[in-house]
Homo-oligomer: A and B are copies of this chain.
Amino acid sequence: MKKFENDLILRVLRGSESERTPVWLMRQAGRYLPEYRAIRAKYDFLTMCKTPELASEVTIQPVDIIGVDAAIIFSDILVVPEAMGMKLLVEEGRGGPRLLDPLRTSSDIGRVHVAQADDDLSYVGQAIKLTVKRLNGRVPLIGFSGAPWTLMAYMVEGRGGDFARARALLYEEPGLAHRLLRMITDSVIGYLKMQCSAGVDIIQIFDTWAGVLSEEQYEEFSFVYIKEIVDNLKAYAPVIVFPKGMNRLLREISHCGADAVSVDWTVPIDVAGFEIPQVVQGNLDPAVLFASKDAILQHANRILSAAPRGRHIFNLGHGVMPGTPVENVKALIEFVRDFHH
């Protein structure tokens, strides 16, 4: 087992003793950081993802600059659809990423294939290896993937939004949806195993668009595939699942067997801790970080005080937003690190 200078987050995920609540932030490597923007000014987003030197550099920035307890490899969930054969366009800040020629019919689905992680996504493995080396045991490294439903939603819709076409496909051709979800799930399992081999210490599965599904659809088209991924990955690394917008089903979701469930800001953390027997991650509203320092610390304090003791990883309820003042993020991290029950 690897040794870390700071293994707080791993201890919490294993259910061991921890002297304080570990903290990291979704999109901690991102546009709110001037050091990130300096690199982004020279390279486009996908070039950064695909150049291990650059991906590794921005992955480590928040460890150095804001002092989080874990790094998360810099990438995007849509590299998987790209590796499956789709064309990905990322124009950051211009309405989000797009997948060209979205999949709508049976013959469209013939255009994609199960991603071969060792070939199609080897650049992620290289970025991970380089990052592990550069981190040199300071903090653990998190790898990640989109959940199958969230990836399918983008692959059918082509872009973000309310995913009405993707939802329509579930009603119109559930069999076709399952065929696509099968290929995505196999791709994700291979991708995450490759990330573990390359050296990540924790896995997070982002089901960002869980919330547009009905409860029945979530069970049939999302949960079962997430459970399969967790079953296949648990032996390699602790797994965190983030079912954004699906707070009515937290108890059911906890049955996927993940080591932690991450929750968005709309559910009280104590309610989440009651519904979820595992570790709970979250859930400060990223919008708070635009408010005054007093307001930020007050809301962080409320979460730290109400969260289940010893089984909480502090995080936001969604990613850090572009334009967030860096000093506010620093003040938040400092406060969480200094907090003791």
- Mark A residues whose CB is within 8 Å of B: 164-165, 167-168, 171-172, 211-216, 245, 247-248, 265-268, 271, 285-288, 290-292, 295-296, 299, 321
Write out the residue numbers on chain B whose beta carbons fall within 8 Å of the beta carbon of A213.
266
Nearest CB of chain B from residue A71's CB, rounded to whole Å: 25
What are 7 residue pairs bridging A and B, where the CB atoms are less than 8 Å apart in the complex? A164-B286, A165-B287, A172-B292, A172-B295, A211-B211, A215-B268, A247-B248
Q: A164-B286, A171-B299 are in contact. List 11 more A-B contacts (CB 8 A).
A: A164-B290, A164-B321, A167-B285, A172-B291, A214-B267, A214-B285, A215-B268, A216-B268, A245-B245, A248-B266, A248-B267
In the bound assembly, the distance between CA atoms of A216 and B321 in angstroms comes to 22
Write out the residue numbers on chain B whose beta carbons fall within 8 Å of the beta carbon of A165.
287, 290
In the bound assembly, the distance between CA atoms of A213 and B167 in angstroms comes to 24
Write out the residue numbers on chain B whose beta carbons fall within 8 Å of the beta carbon of A288.
168, 171
Chain B residue nearest in CB terms to A172: B291
**Is the CB–CB distance between A171 and B285 below 8 Å?**
yes
Write out the residue numbers on chain B whose beta carbons fall within 8 Å of the beta carbon of A248.
247-248, 266-267
> For the complex formed by this chain, how many copies does it contain in all?
2
- The CB with the most chain B CB atoms within 10 A, among A212, A265, A291, is that of A291
Nearest CB of chain B from residue A96's CB, rounded to whole Å: 11
Chain B residue nearest in CB terms to A264: B214
In the bound assembly, the distance between CA atoms of A296 and B245 in angstroms comes to 25
**Is the CB–CB distance between A266 and B171 below 8 Å?**
no
Chain B residue nearest in CB terms to A166: B287
**Is the CB–CB distance between A214 and B266 below 8 Å?**
yes
- The CB with the most chain B CB atoms within 10 A, among A171, A211, A213, A295, is that of A171
Known contacts A164-B321, A247-B248, A291-B171; decide if A215 and B285 are in contact (CB<8 Å). Answer: no
Known contacts A248-B247, A248-B267, A266-B211; decide if A291 and B216 are in contact (CB<8 Å). Answer: no
In the bound assembly, the distance between CA atoms of A291 and B213 in angstroms comes to 16
